[in-house]
Chains A and B, each alone.
Chain A
Amino acid sequence: MSSPNSGNVGIVIVSHSSKIAEGAADMVRQMVGHAVPLAWTGGDVDGGLGTNVAGILEAIETAWSPAGVAILVDLGGAETNSEMAVEMLPEDRRARVVVCNAPVVEGAVIAATEASGGSSLAAVKRSAEEFYA
Chain B
Amino acid sequence: MTLDRTTRERLVRAMAEAVIAHADELTGLDQAIGDGDHGVNMKRGFEAVLATLPGLANKPIAEMLKTIGTTLVMKVGGASGPLVGTFFMELGKALPENPVRADLVVATDKAINAVKARGRSDAGQKTLLDVLVPVQAVLAEGGNAEAIAAEAERAADRTIPMLAIRGRASFLGERSIGHMDPGSRSVSLLIGAAVTTLEREANS
Residue ranges of A at the interface with B (Cβ–Cβ < 8 Å): 44-46, 48-54, 75-77, 80-81, 83-84, 88
Which residues of the other chain, B, contact A84 by a CB distance below 8 angstroms? Answer: 73, 81-82, 85-86, 118
Q: Mark B4-43, 1 if CB is under 8 A from A, else 0.
A: 0000000000000000000000000000000101001100
Chain A residue nearest to B167 in the complex (CB): A76
Inter-chain CA distance A51–B81, complex, in Å, is: 10
A81 engages B77 (CB within 8 Å) = yes
Chain B residue nearest to A76 in the complex (CB): B79
Q: Kindly provide the distance from the CB of A72 to the nearest chain B CB, expressed in whole angstroms.
A: 17
A53 engages B82 (CB within 8 Å) = yes
Q: Kindly provide the distance from the CB of B66 to the nearest chain A CB, expressed in whole angstroms.
A: 12
Whether, in the assembled complex, B126 has its beta carbon less than 8 Å from a beta carbon of chain A, the answer is no
Q: Kindly provide the distance from the CB of A66 to the nearest chain B CB, expressed in whole angstroms.
A: 27
Q: Kindly provide the distance from the CB of A98 to the nearest chain B CB, expressed in whole angstroms.
A: 16
A77 engages B78 (CB within 8 Å) = yes
Q: Kindly provide the distance from the CB of B27 to the nearest chain A CB, expressed in whole angstroms.
A: 12
A45 engages B86 (CB within 8 Å) = no
Residue ranges of B at the interface with A (Cβ–Cβ < 8 Å): 35, 37, 40-41, 44, 73-75, 77-83, 85-86, 118-119, 166-168
Jot down 17 A-B pairs with beta carbons below 8 A, ordered by A.
A45-B44, A46-B44, A50-B37, A50-B78, A52-B77, A53-B77, A75-B168, A76-B168, A77-B77, A77-B80, A77-B168, A80-B83, A81-B77, A81-B78, A84-B82, A84-B86, A84-B118
Inter-chain CA distance A108–B75, complex, in Å, is: 26
Inter-chain CA distance A48–B76, complex, in Å, is: 12
Inter-chain CA distance A50–B77, complex, in Å, is: 7
Inter-chain CA distance A83–B44, complex, in Å, is: 21
Inter-chain CA distance A50–B80, complex, in Å, is: 11
A81 engages B81 (CB within 8 Å) = yes
Nearest 8 CB-CB pairs, A to B? A84-B82, A77-B79, A44-B77, A50-B77, A80-B79, A77-B78, A80-B82, A52-B77
Inter-chain CA distance A96–B138, complex, in Å, is: 41
Residue from the list B37, B74, B81, B167 in contact with A48, Cβ < 8 A:
B37
Inter-chain CA distance A46–B40, complex, in Å, is: 10
Which residues of the other chain, B, contact A54 by a CB distance below 8 angstroms? Answer: 74
Q: Kindly provide the distance from the CB of B191 to the nearest chain A CB, expressed in whole angstroms.
A: 22
Inter-chain CA distance A80–B117, complex, in Å, is: 10
Chain A residue nearest to B72 in the complex (CB): A53
A83 engages B77 (CB within 8 Å) = no
B37 engages A81 (CB within 8 Å) = no
Which residues of the other chain, A, contact B85 by a CB distance below 8 angstroms? Answer: 84
Inter-chain CA distance A132–B201, complex, in Å, is: 55
Chain B residue nearest to A57 in the complex (CB): B74
Inter-chain CA distance A80–B183, complex, in Å, is: 15
B82 engages A50 (CB within 8 Å) = no
